[in-house]
Amino acid sequence: MCGIVAYIGNKQAYPFLIKGLQRLEYRGYDSAGVAMIDNGQLNVYKCKGKVIDLHNFIGEQNKGGNIGIGHTRWATHGVPNDVNAHPHYSASKNMVMIHNGIIENYGPLKEELKKRGHVFMSDTDTEVLIHLIEDIQQKENVPLGEAVRIALNQVVGAYAIVILSKDNPDELFAAKKGSPMVIGIGQDEFYIASDATPIVEYTKNVVYLEDEEIAFIERGKELKIKTIKNKAKTPYVQELEMKLEALEKGGYDHFMLKEIYEQPRSIKDSMRGRLSSEQGVVNLGGITEYEQKFLNAKRIIIIACGTSWHAGLVAEYLFEDLARIPVEVEYASEFRYRNPIVYEDDVVIAISQSGETADTLAAIELAKSKGATIIGVCNVVGSSIARATHAGSYTHAGPEIGVASTKAFTAQVTVLTLMALRIAFRKGTISSSRFHQLLSELEAIPAKIERVLQTNDKIKYIADIYKNVSNALYLGRGYSFPVALEGALKLKEISYIHAEGYPAAEMKHGPIALIDEEMPVFVIATKGTSYEKVVSNIQEVKARKGKIIAIVTEGDTQVKAMADYTIEIPETDEILVPLVSVVPLQLLSYHIAVMRGCNVDQPRNLAKSVTVE
Ligand code: G6P
């Protein structure tokens, strides 16, 4: 939700700001804005639309200045329009602020300020905060940094803010709570952003600001940090491992397509150094210290949102099947508010690509407060969730830019499979031969995905046939049920076709009423324990004239004879099928969305990193 950038140094700020905002557009893209100080003049430009619209809107106007801030928005308070776009002015218009997050008590603060004569231009919570800060500065007659500190003590909610002031042309003030912020340290210059992607091309040295910390970022001086309770902190400088090439499209039309095609590599990266089928070992260094907690756990609770929640569902099958530990999979947003029962010997696995999802973060804090052990499965290194957990395993899928998650999902499932295998092995709930067989099968998955990717033309052909439907149904059983949910989510996210995922056998308790000759039904009908049952479900659809598009195991004849179209995937162990069967569904959604003229990488109303609840 919203991306923020800022620069102070000897170079022109604007080129970094605009490029940085483009990199952060996955976080929100309904409006954008920048502000720079040039020769004592504060120039603010903002408009509805994407970052490129902002750039075109600024055109030849003055973009000069070597201090500046920028914002790309995902609306929370107030519709996306020019006025609600950030940066927002203070009452005197001498300072501006950008903000990612939600100020929950902005209502009472606004009322209070209105009573004292403040007039607000926008509907945003952000404008209230910058007014409050200036109000405090004037009332208390304190330096701006101190006013920021006092104001933040009055704020309830989440924020990552940067303030630019005409009266302080050599200093930026940044602070965060609940929303991420990274400060890159260059040669006599600082780069600030919501994540490291805009920064990596300029410096590898970064400081991740912690919650309730304020950074005083002064030109030509050392970075200073203090907490909102006025405690000085020593900045902890870390080195970024991210590579610049990973952030480019690399010849693909869209990031989503690139990321789908990256899966053989990203899955290998998820397993690298953790799995050796030859030696018969699975090792997850990040959780070794907490392995005993897993071994003693009477229950695992998985918390996540969106696609990560679907990976959690696959993990439920894996942990119960292999490690014989009961698992509950929870939407983080529900878990956090329903007074859940959490025991001290529960292991909670939090899954998140971005590591910033607000609901997941809050659910972690809740489970932690009840004494449970929290294990993270995150993609973004150093993210808030990765830091909030006791231990964890990174998925190492590399930056995922397309808003619809693809390679992050398969990387999550890979890591969770390794985790379940490791625990099963340690608990002795899996035979040695089955363990070894699964390790070799897992190692063979990337090559099998390569083969699925080679069927792209056929998938595109099928996409063309169904691109104009209004509804679609996705069916699967057992390990393929979460894949059905994920397939449906991919389609609705990026092509805006209404799609539902269902356990195949549940279809007759409702969705079957929707089936007619217009309705495509995508069925995961690979060989395995439920194969015959799924075949019966296919017959039920056919009897109602529904169209069947089936994902089948190579060489299948039975389903092929019934289905309108089939997509073959290489045979693998039943418990690993989701890693392979999801890939054609990702491609199918991708092609349908492109054919419908949709913005695949930035679908309407969505954001990649949901840092608001
Ligand atoms: C958003 C994204 C999804 C993602 C979900 C959870 O809705 O659009 O792709 O699955 O958030 O995000 P996380 O970063 O926690 O995995």
Q: Are strands 520-524 and 547-553 parallel, antiparallel or unpaired?
A: parallel
- Ligand 1 atom closest to Cα of 607? 8
- Bridging pattern class, strands 391-394 and 471-476: unpaired
Q: In angstroms, what CA-CA distances link 205 with 199, 211, 545?
A: 9, 20, 61
What is the layout of strands, in order, in the sheet containing 498-503? 498-503, 471-476, 520-524, 547-553, 565-569
Three-state DSSP state, 383: coil
CA distance to 184, 317, 441, 447, 527, per residue, from 571 (Å): 47, 19, 10, 12, 8
Q: What per-residue confidence (pLDDT) applies to 1?
A: 66
CA dihedral (524, 527, 529, 532) positive or negative: positive
Distance CA 265, CA 450 (A): 10
Cβ of 433: how many Cβ atoms within 10 Å? 8
48 is catalytic: no
d(CA 403, ligand 1 centre) in Å: 8
H helices present in 544-576, as ranges: 558-562
> pLDDT of 581-604, one tens digit each?
999 999 999 999 999 999 998 888
Q: Which of 25, 357, 385, 403 to mutate to test the pocket of ligand 1 (most atoms within 8 A of CB)?
A: 357
Residue written as tokens 């902190």?
Answer: 233
Instruction: Tell me the CA–centroid distance for residue 256 and ligand 1, in Å.
Output: 14
Q: Mutation test of ligand 1: which of 27, 74, 256, 308 has the most ligand atoms closer than 8 Å to its C-beta?
A: 308
DSSP string, 286-330: GGGGGHHHHHH-S-EEEEE-HHHHHHHHHHHHHIIIII---EEEE
- The Å distance, Cα 563 to ligand 1 centre, comes to 33
Which tens digit of pLDDT belongs to each residue from 133-151?
A: 999 999 999 999 999 999 9
Query: Which of 394, 416, 610, when mutated, tests ligand 1's pocket best, judged by the most ligand atoms within 8 Å of its CB?
Result: 610
Q: Whose CA is nearest to atom 15 of ligand 1?
A: 352
Question: What is the CA(283)–ligand 1 centre distance, in A?
Answer: 27
Q: Which two tokens stand for residue 431?
A: 């035979």
CA 52 to chain centroid, in Å, comes to 23
Nearest to 304 by CA among 374, 208, 396: 374
403 CA closest ligand 1 atom index: 8
408 CA: nearest ligand 1 atom: 16
Measure the CA–CA gap between 317 and 326, rounded to whole angstroms: 9
What's at 578, amino acid-wise?
P
The pair of structure tokens assigned to 343 is 């025991």
pLDDT tens digits, 534-586 = 999 999 888 888 999 999 999 999 999 999 999 999 999 999 999 999 999 99
Q: What is the pTM of this model?
A: 0.81
Angle at 383 between CA 399 and CA 181, to 5 degrees: 100
- Looking at the DSSP bridge assignments, the partners of residue 125 are none
β pairing state of 373-378 and 391-394? parallel
The reported pLDDT for the residue numbered 507 is 82
What does the pLDDT read at residue 390?
A: 96
In three-state secondary structure terms, 217 is strand
In this structure, is the dihedral angle defined by the CA atoms of residues 55, 176, 236 and 348, taken in order, positive or negative? negative
Burial class for 398, CB neighbours closer than 10 Å (0-12, 13-18, 19+): buried
Ligand 1 centre to CA of 528 (Å) is 30
Which residue, by CA, sits nearest to atom 8 of ligand 1?
Answer: 608
Name the residue among 371, 306, 310, 314 with its Cα closest to residue 333.
306
305 as an active site residue: the answer is: no
Residue of 163, 136, 138 whose CA lies nearest to 147 = 136
* C-alpha 608 – ligand 1 centre gap (Å): 6
Report the separation in Å between the CA atom of 404 and the middle of ligand 1, taken as the mean of its atom positions: 8
Q: Which two tokens stand for residue 113?
A: 């300020």
Backbone angles phi, psi at 420, to 5 degrees: -65, -40
Question: Which residue has the least CA distance to atom 4 on ligand 1?
Answer: 306
Segments in 212-288 forming alpha helices (H): 255-261, 263-271
* Both tokens assigned to 6: 């800022």
Residue ranges for the chain with pLDDT beneath 70: 1
Indicate which atom in ligand 1 lies nearest the CA of residue 380: 14
Instruction: Taking each helix axis as running N to C, give the angle between helix 263-271 and helix 407-427, from 0 to 180 degrees, rounded to the nearest 10.
Output: 30
- Phi, psi for residue 4 in degrees, rounded to 5: -125, 145
Residues in contact with ligand 1 (CB, 6 Å cut-off): 305-308, 352-354, 357, 360, 403-405, 606, 608-610
Which residue has the CA at smallest separation from atom 7 of ligand 1? 306
The minimum-distance atom of ligand 1 relative to the CA of 354 is 14
Which residues pair with residue 69 across a beta bridge? 6, 35
Structure tokens at 346: 């529960």
Nearest to 112 by CA among 85, 87, 132, 140: 132
Contacts of 259 (CB under 8 A, 6+ apart): 266, 400, 401, 402, 406, 407
